[in-house]
Structure 1
């Protein structure tokens, strides 16, 4: 796939989950296995895309072929849909190999983070996981709609949330946000194409997965070492609902205003 001057490719994945309730509609926030926040992130690759795909595929083949890596997490994928890099499942030695590979790729990453609350989920997102996903995605897209160009958004498949009609809803919300800004009533000429895919078919999605995971470790555990390792490639992280830091855009994190262990979220019971 060749990029053209008026075509940009972004690769999107998420971290955390969109669960709010257990069976019987009991509050699941704060229970084991349910995340405190949800993250959607996107990677922009400036290197040749086919060369980057080749790099990632070669590493994946190296892992599969190396007897040292013949562990359950690798074999399970090999026996199912095929092996792909996934930060949550990968053993530390594999993670380090891919993290080091990421540093060789000219790319940038940005993400939107939402702390999960029952009150906001029921009111703003109508108690629907797909609406929650669409709303976050719209915040990620809204600053990409100002140029006369084509955006190809390669999205990691996530059930109902990434069905075409829900992705289109996210785009509509992004357009509404652009138009609600002062001077934002001009016709939007950006053409957006959603390409929902699996990491076994699109290896660059694995980049987005690792970046999202590194951000998730900060917000869920207060662990910053993975974020620090990749920080120079992370252009923006927005803590969307941290109202206490809205003044001065202190909820916008970058190399100049980095995340710290203090960004860890505690599960909300509201």
Structure 2
């Protein structure tokens, strides 16, 4: 009798978010890089989480404990009407004591983080060069985002049978199709360059951080990285990578 062994159907979980934005120009066409409300860098990061459920449970319990702690009783961001920490962790809104607690949780879990960082002044140089060759060309931030997705995932989608790639939704525009195409291009280019076949299934899942705790985790890491690049503040980075 022949005996066949089924290969284990391995799945990997990725969570993707951004820090900063891809904006180069204001409504009047002027350069707004580095002005108030506009970052100097655009960062796209992916967090690989071995056990999303365990991370979700621990961060959820932590948030509940912090909300019940009398020390935080009068902290504005932790009140229900503020619609901030009361519902989800968000590094920009959370107080430093909360940030420290959240970052300490990450060390207990099997997490891997990768990021692509673009200096927007360098992007501006590219746009100007492109315009000199093609006057009809018009830059759009989605172009930069999709390019960075391809770079970020260029060699992350070929080892396992299946991938869940959860993206933080931004704005009202549904970009699921565009993101899927960017991932497929990254997958195809890697397979072509290595001369291998790739039949991995990639599931693209757009959602918001309040509904997905691991997205709150990647937000924290990206915020820490952004503080380092934009403000040269390293205390949060050192908590992540001592």
Shorter-chain TM-score: what band? 0.7 to 0.9
Per the TM alignment, residue 57 of structure 1 is displaced from its structure 2 partner at its CA by 0.7
- Superposition deviation, residue 141 in structure 1: 0.9
Q: Aligned-pair RMSD on alpha carbons?
A: 2.6
Moved over 6 A (4+): none
Q: CA deviation at 1:208?
A: 0.6
Find the aligned partners of 1:64 and 1:121 in 2 and give their Cα distance: 47
Superposition deviation, residue 66 in structure 1: 2.9
1:214: which partner in 2?
Answer: 224
Q: 1:107 to 1:5 in 2, by over 3 A?
A: farther
Q: Verify the 8 A CA contact 1:149 1:191 in the aligned structure 2.
A: yes
Measure how far apart 1:55 and its partner are: 0.5
> More deviation in 215-224 or 152-161?
152-161
- Aligned pairs for 1:35-46 (under 5 A) are 35-46=39-50
Aligned residue-pair number? 226
SS of equivalent residue, structure 1 residue 154: strand
Displacement of 1:126 in angstroms is 4.7
Q: Aligned to 1:29, what secondary structure does the other structure show?
A: coil
- CA–CA separation in structure 1 for the residues paired with 2:150 and 2:45: 12
Equivalent residues in 2 for 1:182-197 (5 A)?
184-197=194-207
Residue segments in structure 1 that go unaligned for 5+ positions in a row: 233-270
User: In structure 1, what is the equivalent of residue 52 of structure 2?
Assistant: 49
Secondary structure at 1:101 match in 2: helix
> Under a length normalisation based on structure 2, what TM-score does the superposition of the two structures give?
0.83
Query: How do residues 1-270 of structure 1 correspond to structure 2 at under 5 angstroms?
Result: 5-46=9-50, 48-69=51-72, 70-75=74-79, 79=83, 83-117=87-121, 118-121=124-127, 123=130, 126-147=138-159, 149-159=161-171, 163-175=175-187, 177-178=189-190, 181=193, 184-231=194-241
Residues in 2 aligned to 1:45 and 1:148: alpha-carbon distance in whole angstroms: 14
Contact 1:7 1:149 in 2 (8 A): yes
The Cα shift of 1:80 comes to 7.5
Distance 1:221 1:81, change over 3 A: closer
Q: Aligned pair in 2 of structure 1 residues 71, 6: CA closer, same or farther (>3 Å)?
A: same
The TM-score, its normalising length taken from structure 1, stands at 0.75
* C-alpha deviation, 1:21, in angstroms: 1.5
Counterparts of 2:215 and 2:24, CA distance in 1: 26
- CA deviations over 1:115-153 (Å, ceiling 9, x no partner): 113232464995111121111111111111323511101
Q: Distance in 1 between matches of 2:58 and 2:127?
A: 40
Checking the alignment, whether the CA contact within 8 Å between 1:64 and 1:83 is kept in structure 2 is: no
For structure 2, which runs of at least 5 residues remain unmatched after alignment? 1-7, 132-136
In 2, Cα distance between equivalents of 1:66 and 1:28: 42
Q: Which has the larger radius of gyration?
A: 2
